[in-house]
Chain A
Amino acid sequence: MTDFDAIVVGSGMSGGWSAKELCERGLKVLVLERGPEIKPERDYVDQLPPWQEKNLDRISQEEIKERYFKQYPGVSYAVKESNKHFWVRDDEHPYETVEGTKYDWLRGYHTGGRSITWSRQSYRMGPQDFTANKNEGVAIDWPVRYDEIKPWYDYVEEFAGIAGNRDGLEQLPDGVYQPGFELTDAENFFKSKVESKFPGRNIIQARIAHLTSATDEQRSLGRSNCQSRNRCHFGCSFKAYFSSLNATLPAAERTGNMTIVHNAAVQSLEYDAATNRISGVRIIDIETNENRTYTSAVVFLNASAIASAMILMQSKSATFPNGLANSSDQVGRNLMDHISGAGANGIINGFENKKVFGRRPSGGIYIPRYANITEQNKPFTRGFGYQGGASPIGNAGGQIAGIGRDFKESHKSPGPWRISIGAFGEQLPNPNNRVTLHPNKTDKWGNPQALFDVSYGENEHTMLEEARKDAVAMLEAAGCSDINSNPVNLTVPGNRIHEMGSARMGDDPSNSVLNRWCQAHDVPNLFVTDGSFMTSAACQNPSISYMAFTARACDYAVNLMEENSL
């Protein structure tokens, strides 16, 4: 007899879904969260008006040097004095990189993980993304095709709530959407100019995980429509954007089947060779240093691509001397992120008599991938999308000319409009890009530190050079002035916070960790449904795909349990 039917490791983007799906199917579920509890009513700071923010909401420079020396430089737009409790302290959670390489490991250890601070962009992978590896002979083939995952995208989008438009693009399939955030006039102008000059390119509304027409189900969870405050990085008291805290965990909670334990960092999964099953999950309490072991019939790893791989590598046994479920030696390899650092901005003329009302959350426009889809003969493989938007320059933090009444008054007029677009490109899987356990460095709880060895290759560099040129050409097509486009400055691996691929799925157990259901080839009662399973990265923001694969894996696992075949 086990303590629980299922243990879910991690309460973030995918862990919340595991908890919800398994609880709703009647399983008794334990969720292990390595960080402290976040209570929305106590810990969200979205209602703080500017004049109550300390020091313009800036973390002191000394504190950044001491505690946030990785998090702050990596994601300074979102790490603030008032919400710093949503980010890890680097002095408490160190990691290492191989000499000559860099890695940004940007994290939040608490209920909901990074689902509190994500950027909410939600794009499906397209049919081409599941066949690219096979067609190009790169890495291994995905064991899944778009048509198989499509109903699960439908399922998770309906629950999560995605605002967007149905644009009819094959490479970026439409989903189940609530009304989107309409484009500004400048964006519509940009769209018409670019689409007529470049017929294979499309400019669409960003698709973002915000409620704009909340369903009965969403309202029953205490969620309501987005209020256009753009305070999302501080939590949302309206629960209007999707996060584990706002949506999946409350859904799991109301079943009465969920137990959540905080401050419980998983150290290893205990393996029973006789049954070829995980027999227990060993944790260390980060407050008391006490060790405990919990047992369950099935384990879902949702600790994030890096932490899940590390937990497997820490789980050594006679059967699995290189880490649990790692007979393929692929655990920790093929670590991918998206690549940015190329784009352009400029003044888009003719909209000085227009302004906006409300503060649109997240992005405005998205330019879906066209490279190697509608435009061929690129000097690189795969492609990129752009995120961006056009808005009035407005206040500009005092960096406009003038003093006195005129200067003060000028802040009431929107001023010229600036458009900005930045590329998010696909990184190719490479087994040499990996995370391993540091041979001798540990954190203060005695757990091995991560050691990263990740570098970008020629394809990534070439792709972004082209993305920069294309961005400039599109701004020129729209007649922009003052176009700025800095030389490509490829982001540090990890900086896009889309880690994936560290336990890839495939049909062949000799070269993949997970099967098509996110189930470990080697150990049947182990599922990994965070970004680890991704066989390739595509160029779309990946969270909605993690959600869809997680829901599908949960359904499969519970079906097996009901048949007594897990």
Chain B
Amino acid sequence: MKTRREVLQGMIVSIGGASLLAACKVVVRVNPSSADGLEFYNSDELALVSRVSDLVIPRTETPGALDVNVPGFLDALLAEWADTDTKREQHNNLRQLNSELGQDFASVDYITAEGRLSELDTRAFENQPRQHNEYRALKGLITQAYFASEEGALQEQKWVAIPGRWDPSVEI
């Protein structure tokens, strides 16, 4: 029997190298008939979360958010951790995000999607008081999930389990 992680990985067509070679137009496709493995997102939501994840933390010299299956992780997190109110809020956030980014956001070419998300990101972080919580919340979850993954922690963040010492002043 497949684990949920495996099911989800099967659903997300690998877009390996997409962001490393940004000119390459690759579309994340999700087969709706395989959405049985999902516990929280529906297939459209998964497509949106996958697209945002890939754009926020793409594969570079190190694995990206899709390589470590951030969308699958978040599906499980929201199914298991969130209460009814939080679940409703998360679904609402995605609905709002979809209308901000366009209904075709998950299927437009990479450059177009990147442009739209970049614009939203700028608006979300330039203004006080804080705006676009629907996006900031998702970006926060994606980032936390990525750096909590083995690849994100070890390869990208160079997380050290046992530093062994404290150095308060390291030149960079």
Contact = CB atoms under 8 A, between A and B. Distances in A.
Interface in B103-157: 114, 117-118, 121-122, 124-126, 136, 139-145, 147-150, 153, 156-157
A405 B140 contact: no
A184 B169 contact: yes
A402 interface: yes
Nearest to B58: A404
Interface stretch (A321-329, A357-365, A555-563): A357-365
B166 A228 contact: yes
Contacts of A49: 150, 153, 161
Nearest to B22: A404
Contacts of B86: 61
Interface in B84-101: 86
A60 interface: yes
Contacts of B117: 403
A58 B165 CA distance: 28
Given A50-B159, A51-B150, A61-B86, A357 B56 contact: no
Given A49-B153, A398-B144, A182 B168 contact: yes
Nearest to B164: A227
Contacts of A184: 168-169
B112 to A, nearest CB: 14
Interface stretch (A253-261, A407-415, A517-525): A407-415
Interface stretch (B2-10, B28-36, B74-82): B74-82
A353 B171 CA distance: 6
Contacts of B167: 356-358
Nearest to A390: B168
- Give the size category of B's interface with A: 35 or more
Given A60-B81, A62-B83, A398 B140 contact: yes
A183 interface: yes
Contact of A403 (B60, B81, B114, B169): B114
A72 interface: no
Contacts of A403: 55-56, 114, 117-118, 121
B145 A56 contact: yes
A134 interface: no
Interface residues of A, number: 48
A330 B148 CA distance: 51
B73 to A, nearest CB: 9
A61 B168 contact: no
Contact of A53 (B148, B157, B172): B148
Contacts of B169: 182, 184-185, 354, 356
Contacts of A405: 19, 58, 60
B162 interface: yes
B81 A55 contact: yes
A141 B56 CA distance: 62
B57 interface: yes
A439 interface: no
B83 A408 contact: no
A357 B121 contact: no
Nearest to B81: A55
Contact of B161 (A185, A229, A407, A408): A229
B170 interface: yes
Nearest to A61: B83
B142 A58 contact: no
Given A51-B150, A403-B118, A61 B81 contact: yes
Main secondary structure of the interface of A (DSSP, over half): loop
Interface in A377-409: 395, 397-405, 407-409
A181 interface: yes
B114 A404 contact: yes
Given A58-B81, A401-B122, A50 B166 contact: no
Contact of B153 (A51, A183, A401): A51
**Residue from the set A55, A395, A404 with the largest chain B CB neighbour count within 10 Å:** A404
A355 interface: yes
B163 A397 contact: no
**Residue from the set A55, A183, A409 with the largest chain B CB neighbour count within 10 Å:** A55
A197 interface: no
A178 to B, nearest CB: 13
A25 interface: no
B57 A408 contact: yes
Interface string A413-427: 110000000000000
A227 B162 contact: yes
Contacts of B149: 50-51
Interface in B38-78: 55-58, 60, 64, 76-77
A240 B104 CA distance: 55
Interface string A161-189: 00000000000000000000111110100
B144 A404 contact: no
Given A405-B58, A408-B60, A358 B144 contact: no
A65 interface: yes
Given A50-B153, A61-B81, A227 B163 contact: yes
Interface of A: 47, 49-51, 53-56, 58-62, 65, 181-185, 187, 227-229, 353-360, 395, 397-405, 407-409, 411-414
Interface of B: 19, 55-58, 60, 64, 76-77, 80-83, 86, 114, 117-118, 121-122, 124-126, 136, 139-145, 147-150, 153, 156-159, 161-172
5 closest Cβ contacts across the A-B interface?
A: A398-B143, A61-B83, A401-B125, A358-B163, A357-B167
13 contacts: A47-B161, A49-B161, A60-B81, A182-B169, A184-B168, A227-B163, A353-B171, A356-B168, A356-B169, A358-B164, A358-B166, A398-B144, A403-B114
Given A65-B83, A181-B168, A409-B60, 20 more contacts: A55-B81, A56-B77, A58-B81, A59-B81, A61-B82, A182-B166, A228-B163, A228-B165, A354-B172, A397-B144, A398-B136, A398-B140, A399-B140, A403-B118, A404-B55, A405-B58, A407-B56, A408-B57, A411-B147, A411-B157
